[in-house]
Chain A
Amino acid sequence: MAEFEPKIIGFLCNWCSYAGADLAGVSRYQYPPDIRIIRVMCSARVDPMIVLTLFKEGADGILIGGCHIGDCHYISGNYHTEKRVYVVKKLMEKAGLEVERFRLEWISASEGEKFAKTVTEFTEKIMELGPSKVGEDPELTNRMGAAVDASLDFRIRSLLGHEVGMIENGNVYGETKTEEEMRNIIDIAIEDEFRRSLILGVTSSKPASAKELSQIANLPTERIVEHIATLRQKNLLAIDHVDGMTPYYVALRVGGD
């Protein structure tokens, strides 16, 4: 087998990290050549869906670089980035992909050396982890698919979008939440939506029973049944057929796709 050449993608914000990467160049700091950089205006532009999709499609490592907290060119973008990174990591964890493959680093325009160092360390880490098993391992691939779907879920995205505001200003009823309370709510949403996405993913190709789903999702049957009930309420899942006493479920396609 040829030597492992990791596929690493770096999303860098235009104002700080991309400038830091340029400074590394101007200063001729050498670092391993495996990273490929994609420029974005703000690190907050990087939708969790994009990161998870690229992992699902075989990326060995993804780095997001943003301005230090407080330095954001767009006032508070990086604050949002931090929140989104949390969700990405949680979903990676649920899917069983090493979270070390994903890294967020604040790199300023004057930290050329830090950029070089970060890339060097990160590349070494990825070398140590070896090639991503996504693609090779069908179960992991399925789970990553569910992670991508969960990242597109309304509830998670909405919570994420309101997290900062809920902590600082409260909801429409004026109730504020502590950071910890918000984290708990988001954690629960991630758990639920990931499992549901997984159920939908599995049942979209082949009808499955609650018991089968419980094995795939690695979850007690009673929790699976709850998810099935929710999905059926939302008209996303239906009974395909009943084998003996066991119902088999199938995902319903919504919309036009």
Chain B
Amino acid sequence: MEQPEQPAETPGETEEQPPETPAEPGSEDLRIGVFVCHCGTNIGGFVDVPSVVEYTKTLPDVVFATGNLYSCAEDGLASIRDAIKEHKLNRVIVASCTPRTHGPLFQGVCEEAGLNKYLFEFANIREQCSWVHMKEKEEATEKAKDLVRSAVAKAALLVPQEEMKVDVVPRSLVIGGGVAGLSAALSLAGQRFDVHLVEKESELGGFTRNLNSLYLGEKSAEETIKPLIDRVMSHENITVHLNSQVGDVSGFIGNFDTTIVSNGSSQEVKVGTIIIATGALEYLPDGLYGYGMYDNVVTLTEFEILCKSHKLPKVNKVAFIQCVGSRGQDKSYCSRICCVISIKNALYLTEKYAELMGDDGAERVEVGVSVPEIASRRRRRRRMAVAEGAGAPAAAPMGGPEITIFNRDVMTYGANHEVYYNEAREKRIRFVRYTPENRPKVTQEGDKLAVTYYHETLKTERKLLADMVVLATPLVAPPDAAKLSKMLKVPIGRDGFFLEAHVKLRPIDFATDGIFVCGTARGPADITESVAQGLGTASRAAIPMARGFIQAEAILAQVDPQICTGCGTCVANCPYGAIRMTEEGVAEVLAAACKGCGCCGATCPEKAITMMNYTDDQLLAQGRSILQGAL
């Protein structure tokens, strides 16, 4: 790892001085140089490059124009460098391929020659001219002239831009002490940053603390996450705030001022980045399938708590009902992990049946769980199950429970989940599909629960008498998520979960820089996924902190406070939350957060916003120059 090249000396914003003070736009001293590339025959074969060069020389303020066989070749670049010095060029245009691939190269050359890189302009005469008008040399040549003239018109109005640097406090705030938050905190600490971990409960561990077993592990849920909690508690870089909440947040990436409220007292902490790991809750299916009416109708998590506390009543026939309250029954979404959790519990009940049904459960639950021989034997058995497939189920253990899982689609995606599904089928756990049109019904019949369901193949109604019904309900966003969303100015989606910046490529970022999200606060996820997301946010948050500063875009919006009336239209339009109102009641662009899209400028009712490098004047000059036509 390298240290940031230039540690900023003073806090706040520091500026790089442009190497030279170039001419103001419109002044007499404009000295524009134009390099027209042949690109071998790629341009030269379809555009009369010499005539473009000659024409360019006649344009206002152009003091130098030449053709290059290959502008991007070392000799081509050298000729640009030399010409900048020799002819004292203060604006440079290369007419060649596309700025999307070669812009940075030529900008770099300008910088090497001491010219601010924002005084460079591109004319695309290959991809958007010679290659698309291969049969019309004359027209292509005219077009190339127009494109160069338009670039010259813009170049004349270019002004040097400085990339602002904003210092970043190398400290992170992690909100939520579940596995996602713990993983994030630990990794950030491992990357040598200070972390403040805020947990509203009196213990770390989050939702996992409710759970009995974990489907990928041999140990109990609590035992599994204990080492993680211990490492967080003992890490010198991590400050854990239990029984605490975030009271207030202001500022932006690099410099957030936060207030942590614990037991009535509050503490101010300045952080550079924030990670949201506030988790989710289990949906309570009041009124569905007899929940709340019959004692032995429980949710998945309640079932786990019963197992964990050895209070599971004597049961033989158990029915799990999937998608309770999800996938269109109240909540619209699929909760992703309930299928595998039901399977996990069904398998747990099958495997531990004798122990769980014993009178003295407390000790028996522990039997064999952490014995390595048994663990490896079970892994082998799982592998065998896979090799044999579901077609050859082994006999159910004598006197075991009879378990039925009513489902709509079994969501055991991937390799790890599907292995459990196969194992469950091998263990004679019955899977019965239902459709939302024919949901099962639960009623009390004597001391049993009657599950009436429609058999899709036999096309008849059937009845199952069960001792217990377990409802697989979705994870839902906690009610305080909305509050946090407002405080941090980050969005939540329709389902109440936090909404990432981009569904595909920025899954754990927010559009607002410096704030990240992981775990079930983002949406249903299993424990492994929550850990991966926690680590992922630790990487994302570490980026600005490792650099020590943010290099703001130079192409950004600027508000003229003299013209701004503080109407707030720009604040409403900015997708990045990069504009705020100052105490004086005018808009202010946060350079560190602005991405330079220009959306605000194009709608500012007072036209108080200028989009640097794409100003109205520059765009109009380009347009007008095109309309003017080649002379």
Contacts and interface: CB of A to CB of B under 8 A. Distances in A.
Chain A–chain B contact at Cβ < 8 A: yes
Contacts of B316: none
B614 A40 contact: yes
Interface in A14-59: 14, 18-19, 21-26, 28-31, 33, 36-42, 44-50, 53-54, 57-59
A54 B132 contact: no
Contact of B601 (A45, A74, A158): A45
Given A28-B132, A116-B132, A41 B620 contact: no
Contacts, number: 158
A177 B596 CA distance: 29
A7 interface: yes
B89 to A, nearest CB: 22
B132 A36 contact: no
B128 A37 contact: yes
B184 to A, nearest CB: 24
Contacts of B622: 38
B126 to A, nearest CB: 7
B98 interface: yes
A9 interface: yes
A84 B98 CA distance: 28
Nearest to B501: A75
Given A25-B131, A42-B597, A161 B570 contact: yes
B51 to A, nearest CB: 16
Nearest to B122: A39
B607 A152 contact: yes
Interface string B118-153: 000010101111011111100110110011001000
Given A58-B627, A80-B599, A161 B511 contact: no
B19 interface: no
B624 A36 contact: no
A77 B131 contact: no
Contacts of A178: none
A210 interface: no
Nearest to A154: B605
Given A36-B143, A77-B597, A24 B132 contact: yes
A160 interface: yes
Contact of A41 (B140, B501, B555, B572): B555
Nearest to A116: B132
B623 A160 contact: no
A116 B131 CA distance: 12
Nearest to A80: B599
Contact of B603 (A7, A53, A76, A80): A80
B601 A30 contact: no
A157 interface: yes
Contact of A54 (B595, B601, B605, B627): B627
B611 interface: yes
Interface in B586-631: 595-599, 601-607, 611, 614, 616, 619-620, 622-624, 626-627, 629
A102 B139 CA distance: 23
A33 B614 contact: no
Interface string B572-583: 110110000000
A53 B629 CA distance: 17
Contacts of B619: 11, 38, 40, 45-46, 50
A41 B602 CA distance: 12
A165 interface: yes
A162 interface: yes
B623 A54 contact: yes
Interface in A38-96: 38-42, 44-50, 53-54, 57-59, 73-77, 80, 84
A26 B627 contact: no
Interface string B523-563: 00000000000000000000000000000000100000000
B570 to A, nearest CB: 7
A59 B605 CA distance: 25
A30 B624 contact: no
Contact of A28 (B99, B134, B502): B134
A155 B143 CA distance: 39
Contacts of A19: 100
B127 A26 contact: yes
B100 A18 contact: yes
Interface string A136-170: 00000000000000001011011011101100000
B132 A30 contact: yes
A22 B134 contact: no
A50 B620 contact: yes
Contacts of B124: 22, 37, 39
Contact of B598 (A9, A45, A75, A76): A45
A74 B623 contact: no
A84 B569 contact: no
Given A36-B626, A154-B606, A161 B601 contact: no
Interface residues of A, number: 54
Nearest to A12: B128
A50 B627 CA distance: 13
A11 B616 CA distance: 13
B629 A7 contact: yes
Contacts of B134: 28, 30
Contacts of B100: 14, 18-19, 22
B567 interface: yes
Contacts of A161: 569-570, 572-573, 603-605
Contact of B596 (A38, A41, A47): A41
B599 A44 contact: yes
A81 B605 CA distance: 16
Given A22-B127, A24-B132, A77 B605 contact: no
Given A45-B602, A47-B602, A54-B620, A33 B127 contact: no
Contact of A33 (B98, B143, B595, B605): B143
Given A38-B150, A44-B599, A77-B597, A22 B98 contact: yes
A201 to B, nearest CB: 19
Contacts of A152: 607
A24 B124 CA distance: 13
A46 B603 CA distance: 9
A37 B501 CA distance: 30
B48 to A, nearest CB: 14
A71 B627 CA distance: 31
A123 B595 CA distance: 34
Contacts of B605: 154-155, 157-158, 161
A50 B573 contact: no
Contacts of A157: 569, 603-605
A26 B140 CA distance: 16
A48 B602 CA distance: 8
A237 B182 CA distance: 67
A25 B599 contact: no
Contacts of B132: 24-25, 28-31, 33, 116
Contacts of B598: 40-42, 44-45
Contact of B602 (A9, A84, A165): A84
Nearest to B146: A36
A59 B627 CA distance: 6
Nearest to A24: B132
Contacts of B616: 47, 49-50
22 contacts: A14-B100, A19-B100, A21-B127, A22-B100, A25-B126, A31-B133, A33-B129, A33-B136, A37-B128, A38-B150, A40-B598, A44-B598, A45-B598, A58-B627, A74-B595, A74-B597, A77-B575, A157-B604, A157-B605, A161-B570, A161-B605, A164-B572
Q: Closest 5 interchain pairs by CB?
A: A25-B127, A45-B598, A161-B569, A74-B597, A25-B131
Given A22-B98, A116-B132, 17 more contacts: A24-B128, A31-B133, A33-B143, A36-B150, A40-B614, A41-B598, A42-B598, A47-B601, A47-B616, A49-B616, A50-B616, A50-B620, A54-B627, A59-B627, A73-B597, A77-B575, A164-B572
